[in-house]
Amino acid sequence: MSAQREMKEKNPWHTPVTIIITVIGVIAIVALVTVAVLQNRPFPQKYKYGIVLDAGSSHTALYIYEWPAEKDNNTGRVEQTHSCKILVENALAFCPGISSYASAPSKAGQSLTECMQEAVQRVPEKRRGETPLYLGATAGMRLLNMENSAASDSVFQSVKKALQMFPFSYQGARILSGQEEGAFGWVTVNYLDDRLKQGLETTGALDLGGASTQISFVSDNYNGSESPSNSVTFRLYGNDYNLYTHSFLCYGKDQALRMTLAHQSQAGPGTVLDPCFHPGYAEIKNYSVLYDSPCVSDRKPQGAPATFNHTGNGNFLECQKTIKNIFNFTDCKYSRCSFNGVFQPLLQGPFGAFSAYYFVMNFLNLTDTSIPLDDVKEKLKRYCATPWNQIRQRHPNIKLKYLAEYCFSGTYILTLLTEGYNFTSESYSDIKFIEKIKGSDAGWTLGYMLNLTNMIPAEAPDSPPLPHAGYVSIVTVIAVLIFILFILSLRPLWPSCSKQPQIV
């Protein structure tokens, strides 16, 4: 008995002080690691939302964006979660832009109701009040404003009244300048591609609408001084960008078609034999409708009846020649121009081409730009020469207006890119026809919202040096090391073998 008591007394592990220290040590380590884990654990994902209405010349679309609530300032985090196209009741697949309500402005606001109600359902109730809501109108409203500013104001009144009824944070409805439309399209594409935060080479943006078209890119040999009105500067994530951008009003594909047709109708009243429409295509059209646009400077031919026969003969080369008539290539007061005397620096790719560029080239199966340009033209030549009744049979579900115009639209796109912007057989392959990037539509809306909500900082944001998992691992390893050191530091007190008591 006395030997056992002696052993207990000599073995320091059995002293109450050591036991208490060890227990406190273990508790401290567990507490340290737990605090590290809990304190730095990522928050459960909560999202914030933003809504942008794109009031284009041909239709209005609503986009909802979301981003993690605690990371307003980081790139690549804002995503499109929903989009809604405004359709008009009783008019199957007919989606007019707000500018078409010039004669009945009150209906412009009403037309937005369905998509807005959908948005209410999509945004959680407690976020609605803080969700910014923007409406931006583009070339359709620019033209209406030029033609009849009172009608344009009434349309905006109606739209504003309607939007303010919804439980979002309404931030205004306005016409974007062509420069903004081009620049924000460029921001969207480069933001979604994660090129801005990483300071990578940027992608140019080509946007084809119905009433205007935009080209925006960064060119190394362009500093903005030659044509200041084409220059937009940004400082994003600590990088400076000097962007060239131009918007050609009236060179969207619907107005370009109008200008081409008006030019052809000047040949004489009665019939227009149009190489940009399929053989067998024949429609009776109104001169007054054709000439009802500030883009068309020509007048209805003298002594013409109210209508004309629009017939097709499907000839790509002739169509291209006809289209060239709407471009002016002669006057240029700068070192180089695209067309109509507009300055354009040397092209510098890559380029993303979206909106109608994509819709048209996708329909024509021509989005693959690794196909040589001559082969693309050859395919389009064959497509244009295909009789109209065959085209209709092949595509029974495509809206007839689009179907009738794909030959013109494809030819217009190739003419605009090669003759207008000076893309060559080589640089054509720098273009990518895109609809979406990582699930978000390419277009000006996202860039517009990022800009107005200050979500792209001028300087690179500070980020924690370690990710959460790394931080927790390091704290754990250090805690365990401290514990081991502590145990080792008790070593002099450890019982030695020689002192082992003999149990008899």
The distance of closest approach from Cβ of residue 300 to Ca ion in the complex, given in angstroms and rounded to an integer, is 29
Element (H, E) at 359: helix 356-363
According to CB under 6 A, which one of 100, 138, 145, 315 is a site residue for ligand ADP? 138
Is residue 181 part of the annotated active site? The answer reads yes
Residue 225 annotated as part of some ligand binding site: no
Instruction: Say whether residue 140 binds Ca ion (CB under 5 A).
Output: no
Q: Which is nearer to ligand ADP, 132 or 252 (CB)?
A: 252
With tokens 């085209």, the residue in question is: 391
According to CB under 5 A, which one of 140, 178, 182, 209 is a site residue for Ca ion? 209
Residue 500, C-beta contacts closer than 8 angstroms, at least 6 positions apart? none
Q: How far apart are alpha carbons 402 and 95 in whole angstroms? A: 13
Extract the tokens encoding 372. 């040589």
Instruction: Say whether residue 97 binds ligand ADP (CB under 6 A).
Output: yes
Mind giving me the DSSP string for 373-435?
A: HHHHHHHHHHHHHS-HHHHHHH-TTS-HHHHHHHHHHHHHHHHIIIIIS---TTGGGGEEE-S
Which segment (37-45, 209-217, 324-332, 434-442) binds ligand ADP by CB under 6 A? 209-217
Size of the site for ligand ADP (CB under 6 A): 21
Instruction: Say whether residue 312 binds Ca ion (CB under 5 A).
Output: no
314 CB-contact burial (10 Å; exposed 0-12 / middle 13-18 / buried 19+): buried
Residue 202, C-beta contacts closer than 8 angstroms, at least 6 positions apart? 186, 190, 195, 196, 217, 218, 241
Which segment (11-19, 61-69, 196-204, 209-217) binds Ca ion by CB under 5 A? 209-217
Instruction: Say whether residue 140 binds ligand ADP (CB under 6 A).
Output: yes
Q: How far apart are alpha carbons 241 and 190 in whole angstroms? A: 12
Are 23 and 31 in contact by the 8 Å Cβ rule? The answer is no
Instruction: Say whether residue 391 binds ligand ADP (CB under 6 A).
Output: no
Q: Within 406-435, which residues bind ligand ADP (CB under 6 A)?
A: none
Residue 202 annotated as part of some ligand binding site: no
Instruction: Say whether residue 136 binds Ca ion (CB under 5 A).
Output: no
Q: Which is nearer to ligand ADP, 29 or 449 (CB)?
A: 449
Instruction: Say whether residue 56 binds Ca ion (CB under 5 A).
Output: yes
Instruction: Say whether residue 338 binds ligand ADP (CB under 6 A).
Output: no
Extract the tokens encoding 47. 């999202």
Binding residues: 210-214
- Catalytic residue numbers, as ranges: 181
Annotated binding site for ATP, which residues?
Answer: 210-214
Residues found near ligand ADP in the complex (CB under 6 A) = 56-59, 97, 138-140, 209-212, 252-254, 355-356, 359-360, 363, 402
